[in-house]
Structure 1
Amino acid sequence: MNARRSDADRSVLMSASVDKLVQEAEIEAEYAIGWVRIVLGLVLFASGFLVWSGTAGVTGEYHPNQVRLTAMITVGALFSLGIISFLLVVRRWFKPWMAFVLAAGDATILAGSLYFGLEGTQLGGNWIAAMPAIWAAPLILAVGALRHRPFVQIWATAVMMVAVFGVAFALGFDLFLTDFGTTVSPSDLEARIGRLFSLPPHLMRAVMLTLIGLVTALAMARSRRLLMRAVGETARRANLARFLPAEIAPLLGENGVAAWRQGRLQQATILFVDIRGFTAFAEKMDPARLSVFISSFRRRVTRAVEAHDGLVDKFVGDGALLVFGIPEPRGDDCTRALACAHEILALVDQWNIKRGFNPPVRVGIGIHTGVVYCGLVGDDRRLEFTVLGDTVNVAAKIEQATKRFDAALLASETVVIQTGQQGSWQEVGREPLGGRGEHLAIFATRGSLAAKARG
């Protein structure tokens, strides 16, 4: 159950990291869309001015003030909406739901442009598809594709369709076009329709078609950039996972490496385990068998530590440094460390029975708890997570003391007290360890002492 909980915790951490990456991408998308709206507003204004003024002398067409005013208001509204969305992101006021409001704003601007454009030409709703402004619909949807949010795009498409059909029916859409040409003279109708297919409207359609192509190219570029970023982040995490514990790698977000390089002091429980008499053991093995032997030992240690929500800080030769309480300390760190130690001893006993080692494999385990420094050390080519400090040194010396006391498992008094298992342990020594000024009480399990006495 502990192993499953550990896997679930790692899954939650990784999911949170992915969600953060997606949220950052969405904010960047709104920032880009804000700029695109601004640029589109400027481009449409400039192109409209050049087209309508530059072609007037060539075509001899007169463009009513209402048409020019409608175009200017449309472009101005699009430009203003871009400024608003841009400021929302820059000022960090933007919320995900605002994308739906901005999409509705785009549709509203388009509806206003179509309505007043058709009204200015005195044509009904049936001629909405002939208006140059209708080309702004795919252009706006192409801009929305920068978001990578399907539901927002579906919403934008829906409100766009409502806007277009709403304008068509508001201006008197004739389902079967039965009144075609009955209210105006044919020559007047031809003149009105002709204005929609003269040189200036065609040039504006060409401008918007070009903008659609450019915006879709931008959307593809952003998609590729996001994909490359995701692949790069995955590769970076995979590379970190080669050298870092699996519990630490998911925590290293964009600023995580810098934070963990600074390190921090926190409570943790340290467990050292080492194979006794390994040198004599190794001398009897060829390199291939020795490799298999060490791999089998490490596999058993890893199985035990993962079962009790600890982590392997490092393997060193025939030994290992295990930590409980990383990344955050828990109230049962000492209890889980002792349970892990007993499981390691049980797995080693099963290993001896299975392989028939002669002499049998024996290990020594030392446990201590206290404040440690934990963080990342090394350069970008090889980062290493490590724990340092007096607590780590004491745990190592307790592990070495297992040789003198001929015990497989020793723990400090602090560990025994925190587990509340004083009745199962007995003090075997109270002495300075390796030059420490204070005396530290070392405890062994009563069962191991009784077994040694019977032996």
Structure 2
Amino acid sequence: MRKFQGANRLDRQRSELTSTPVESAFWESENEAEYTIGWVRITVGLALFASGFLVSSEAADFAPGLNLTQLRVTALTTVAAFLGLGVTSFLLVISRQFRPWMAFALVTGDAAIVGASLYFALKDTGLGGNWVVIIPTIWAVPLLLSVGALRYRPLVQLWATSAAMIAVVSVVAGLGFSLEGIADSTEGQSVSRLLSLPPYIMRAVMLLLMGLVTALAMARSRRLLIRIARETAKRANLARFLPAEIAPLVGENDVATWRQGRRQQGTILFVDIRGFTAYAEKLDPARLSVFISSFRRRVMRATEASGGVIDKFIGDGALIVFGIPEPRVDDCARAIACACRILALVDQWNAKRGFNPPIRVGIGIHSGEMYYGLVGDEHRLEFTVLGDTVNVAAKIEQATKRFDAPLLASEAVVMQAGQQNAWVAVGQEPLGGRGEHVALFAFAGTKPPE
């Protein structure tokens, strides 16, 4: 039972850490960083072992009294420690047991290994703490600090810098300053100056600045990634409610501007399945869902081919707009082409599936001034088109039932498209919002206009 409760507690912690897409992305990045840094630790350990072995061998030529065995034991212990720490980070990541606080423990381990290696290397050679700059291990410090920038966590980097500084200063303070034997000559005096306190203060400042600069770079990168992630999430949320052609435009501008809306010329197309209610009663829910999805795919295919924008699907129908975001001279021609493509795709659908009775649709098209923009609040935005033009187009689509015609368009659409020869006048209807009559035309062409 205790083991089961512990597993539940770990699951809850992981869930809290990955509660949002942004946090989840950083969590994955943190795991990848520790995995990479684990390899760096192993590489550093092997490099230090090789360099320590070579240095100890060379030291035998000018210092026969050195304990080479002890030097090599120190080098071997260092590589073992880095290998162990690297393998530990691997296991934590692979087993999904890694937690954010563990990064602080791992960098503390790095600093402790470097400090111990420096201390014993100097002690074995009988040198003072101020000789720390000649030990190869010291170069592991800037390497570990630079690779730590993979984490995108400035606080960890600041702590790593502090821990490294504490380790090095402790070694120097513990072994003390020793210039014995090197200040007896002019060259020795020059070397002694480089190993005195002022140069060490400068080296410490440079190391500290390196850590601070990398931490600053990590903080800037983190802020940039968060901003990009939030913008991506914002656009993704907009895309859930807005047409695909509109969402990128809204993302590039202020949503408040789109809420104010805009009036301009445009062309509206309504399409609806005839007798759908009776047909739907014969289908079970699963087949009905497949049927509606198949119909909508055909509408989307025709709309995309014609350069229109699907404002919304309404049950078994759709409202399609041409002229957004900017009106074009061929809006009416493209709307007619879209309608003809829908009819052709429905005919192919009937032939493929053998529907009995066959699926029939009604399409109405009208052109004129319309309003479009965003409505709603930050929790649910919706793109919409409004105005008398939209209402007339919907009424023209309904009129296809009375005239028994699959495609009707207003005189304004036919004239603007310049396709008078492909249409036949069928009458005038009082469809306007202010009581005016609208001349209706039925399509008599044989193929979609180009």
Fold in common (TM above 0.5):
yes
Taking structure 1 as reference, are residues 208 and 254 closer, same or farther at Cα in structure 2, changes over 3 Å only? farther
Taking structure 1 as reference, are residues 205 and 254 closer, same or farther at Cα in structure 2, changes over 3 Å only? farther
* Counterpart Cα distance in 2 of 1:230 and 1:447: 50
Equivalent positions of 1:53-452 (< 5 A) are 190-191=188-189, 194-253=192-251, 255-433=253-431, 436-447=434-445
- Structure 2, unpaired ranges of 5+: 1-132, 135-141, 150-182
Tell me which moved more, 225-234 or 399-408. 225-234
Q: Percent identity?
A: 76
Q: Secondary structure at the match of 2:251?
A: coil
* Counterpart Cα distance in 2 of 1:243 and 1:335: 28
Q: Secondary structure at the match of 1:371?
A: strand
Aligned-pair Cα RMSD in Å: 2.9
Tell me which moved more, 193-202 or 203-212. 193-202
Displacement of 1:437: 2.6
Bigger relative contact order (CA 8 A; separation at least 6)? 1
Displacement of 1:194: 4.0
Taking structure 1 as reference, are residues 401 and 344 closer, same or farther at Cα in structure 2, changes over 3 Å only? same
Displacement of 1:193: 5.2
Q: Secondary structure at the match of 1:397?
A: helix
The C-alpha deviation readout for 1:313-350, integer Å capped at 9, x for no partner, is 10010110001121222221111110010010011111
* Counterpart Cα distance in 1 of 2:330 and 2:367: 11
* Counterpart Cα distance in 2 of 1:267 and 1:412: 15
* Counterpart Cα distance in 2 of 1:359 and 1:252: 43
The C-alpha deviation readout for 1:181-220, integer Å capped at 9, x for no partner, is xxxx985665555444432231122122111101101111
What's the TM-score, normalizing by structure 2? 0.56
Moved over 6 A (4+): none
Contact 2:432 2:438 in 1 (8 A): no
Q: Secondary structure at the match of 2:283?
A: coil
* Counterpart Cα distance in 1 of 2:217 and 2:353: 61
* Counterpart Cα distance in 2 of 1:407 and 1:237: 41
Write the letter of the residue equivalent to 1:358.
N
Write the letter of the residue equivalent to 1:386.
T
The C-alpha deviation readout for 1:257-296, integer Å capped at 9, x for no partner, is 2221221112211100001111111111111111111111
Write the letter of the residue equivalent to 2:223.
R
- Structure 1, unpaired ranges of 5+: 1-128, 131-137, 146-184, 449-455
